[in-house]
Amino acid sequence: MKSELIQRIEELLQAEDITSIKQQVRELQSDFKAETAKETQLQKEKFEAEEQEEGASFQYSPGDEDEKFYSFIDVYKERVKEHGQQIAEEQKKNFEEKKSLLDELENIIQNEENIKTAFDGFHAVKDKYELVGDIPGDKYKDLQDRYQALRDAFFYNINIYKELRENDLKINQKLKEELIEKAKSLKAIETIKEKDQLVRLYQKEWSDIGPSPRETYKEMADEFFGLCREAIEDIRQHFEGLKEVQEANLALKVALVDKMKELLSNEIKNHGTWMKKTDDVLAMQSGWKEIGFAPKKENEEVWQEFRGLCDLFFEKKSAYYDERKAEQKQHTAAKAALIEKATSLQGNTDWKKTTEEYLKLQKQWKAAGSASPREEQKLWQQFRSACDKFFNAKKEHFSGMNDRQDENLKIKLELIKEIEGFKLSGQKNADIQALKEFSDRFNAIGYVPKPKVQEVFDNYHLALDKHYGAIDLGQEERRMMQYKTRVADIKKSDNNDKLLQKERRLLYDKMDRLKDSVLRYENNMGIFTGSGADAMKKEIEKKISSANKEIEEIQNKLDLL
């Protein structure tokens, strides 16, 4: 955008009349300031997001485009300055020419005795004087006062034809009387702009009329200029009040700029917030239009800053939705792949494994993110249909399992009674083998109704533990035999992976606590001195030995797992 503005001002500077491009240059400067305001905000956000040294403050860093643009502005200003100097030289020249003409008029008034010659000379000077161009503003009043004074002196002091002079004076008096009536109407005019234009116009007309009869001149002038002063005072008071209003308007506009900066300082990450913040920005823009003018210089600067911040907001919004559209496209592709996978699993009858696969697919669906609103519902219907087809088939398959589970319960209860009635032979290895066979038969039977699972397992383990306790096994060996049975039972359960992981975690936690205890015991060994120290040390050594044996047993269980 800045490059386009640079190209435009470069083209404008080709114009020969530098005054003809004044408005276009002002608009380009305005647009360039707006772009700079956006860049300033972006640089400030980056500065605040990065770590800075203590006491560091943000400063805008202009780029090459800023330097190039303002170099063209300097060229423009230099040409304007040269033009102004040229105008000043012309005005200075005009001033000297008018001054010379007034000297000539003064000489006519003082030295010319021939009425006709004086009259002709006066009009010749007057015509030349009015054809000369503008003079410097600071010289105008004095020169014009001298011109009017000389003109009045000419009519009053030169002995022209009496009839003509009296006629001109009467005409001028009538014109001034009409102007006084117009000036009286100024008080009723409510529009300040119109009143200001008229009072300037009437004063110029009064000045252009020329002399009127001496006897009424001062009285009429006092009345006319008194009316003008009243109008000028009304205009002054209006602009004083307007200045206060404009200062208040400036404060309101600065507050809106601060509000826009605060809005831009917060990162917006979702559609709903973008919609709400967009409404806020539009409301601020509407509010800006309703505030009214601030002081001219500050009004332009604060407007460019506000406009730049608003442009930056909508640029960020556009970038967000471009990125969101790309993400939704990726989400659509990811969900289409999940639908394809779900469809391919519909006919699989490995119910447990396939159910886990479908549950994973459903989690992945939730994590995949949203597609576009138009696509999301259609994709969801396809995915849900694929899942429902499998789970309906699974439901139909398992609807006839209740009868089989009741039969399995009956068989397991009979087996438990058989275990309870088993008589040990006294042959250790044979009895252990017989108990293992009972476990194999129990685990091979299959599922029982869920409400009976815990009761059946408790009775089963109770019957086995009774026999293992009667066999001549070491305490550690018996515990390991019982643990092997427990692990075999876990392996037969529906969620064996989770149960085995839980068992392993519990064993490791217990081992860590035992190791901490051994370390604490060993550290305490050195603090016992004096009588009774040996007895205390022996007690601790027993605890260390017991803990180490338990650690070894846990390690054996972990090896089994």
- Clarify whether residues 466 and 508 are in a common domain: no
* Residue 358 CB contacts under 8 Å (≥ 6 apart), including other chains: 342, 345, 387, 390, 391
As a whole number of angstroms, the distance between CA 104 and CA 452 comes to: 134
> Does any domain span residue 332?
yes
- Check pLDDT > 70 for residue 474: no
> Does any domain span residue 300?
no
- Check pLDDT > 80 for residue 116: no
* Band of residue 100 on the pLDDT scale cut at 50, 70, 90: very high
* Band of residue 338 on the pLDDT scale cut at 50, 70, 90: confident
Residue 494's pLDDT is: 62
* Residue 224 CB contacts under 8 Å (≥ 6 apart), including other chains: 176, 179, 180, 183, 202, 206
Q: Please state the φ and ψ torsions of residue 136, each to the nearest 5 degrees.
A: -55, 140
Q: Which tokens is 523 given? A: 């550290």
Mean pLDDT estimate for the chain: 81
Of 127 and 432, which is predicted with more confidence? 127
129-152: per-residue pLDDT in tens? 888 888 888 888 888 888 888 888
- Check pLDDT > 80 for residue 303: yes
> Does any domain span residue 278?
no
- Clarify whether residues 139 and 9 are in a common domain: yes
- Where a domain ends, among 266, 300, 315? 266
Residues 235/198, Cβ–Cβ less than 8 Å: no
CA 359 and chain centroid, separation: 39
Start-to-end CA distance of the chain, whole Å, equals 70
Number of structural domains (the chain) is: 5
379-418: per-residue pLDDT in tens? 788 778 878 887 787 777 766 666 777 888 888 888 888 8
- Clarify whether residues 120 and 146 are in a common domain: yes
- Where a domain ends, among 494, 510, 537? 494
CA R_g for the chain: 53
- Clarify whether residues 39 and 125 are in a common domain: yes
**What residue numbers bound the domain in which 419 lies?**
400-494
- Clarify whether residues 389 and 435 are in a common domain: no
- Clarify whether residues 3 and 81 are in a common domain: yes
- Clarify whether residues 343 and 423 are in a common domain: no
Of 184 and 321, which is predicted with more confidence? 184
494-549: per-residue pLDDT in tens? 667 777 888 888 888 888 888 888 788 777 766 666 566 677 777 877 878 887 88
- Clarify whether residues 144 and 1 are in a common domain: yes
- Check pLDDT > 80 for residue 311: yes
Angle between helices 214-265 and 22-49 (to 10 degrees): 30
- Clarify whether residues 132 and 21 are in a common domain: yes
Residue 475's pLDDT is: 62
- Where a domain ends, among 494, 525, 546? 494
Q: Which tokens is 30 given? A: 């305005």
- Clarify whether residues 412 and 517 are in a common domain: no
> Does any domain span residue 313?
no
- Check pLDDT > 60 for residue 159: no
Listed as own residue / partner, the contacts of 160-167 with beta carbons closer than 8 Å and 24 or more positions apart are 160/115, 160/118, 160/119, 161/115
Give the length of the chain: 561
* Residue 557 CB contacts under 8 Å (≥ 6 apart), including other chains: 480, 483, 507
Mean pLDDT of 279-295: 87
> Does any domain span residue 390?
yes
- Clarify whether residues 2 and 82 are in a common domain: yes
* DSSP secondary structure letters along 125-162: HHHHHHHS----HHHHHHHHHHHHHHHHHHHHHS---H
> Does any domain span residue 310?
no
174-214: per-residue pLDDT in tens? 888 888 888 888 888 888 888 888 888 888 888 888 788 88
- Clarify whether residues 353 and 375 are in a common domain: yes
> Does any domain span residue 277?
no
As a whole number of angstroms, the distance between CA 320 and CA 270 comes to: 9
> Does any domain span residue 287?
no
Q: Interior CA angle at 71 toward 65 and 76, to 5°? A: 130
231-253: per-residue pLDDT in tens? 888 888 887 777 778 788 888 88
* DSSP secondary structure letters along 379-433: HHHHHHHHHHHHHHHHHHHHTTHHHHHHHHHHHHHHHHHHHHT----S-HHHHHH
- Check pLDDT > 60 for residue 260: yes
* Band of residue 279 on the pLDDT scale cut at 50, 70, 90: very high
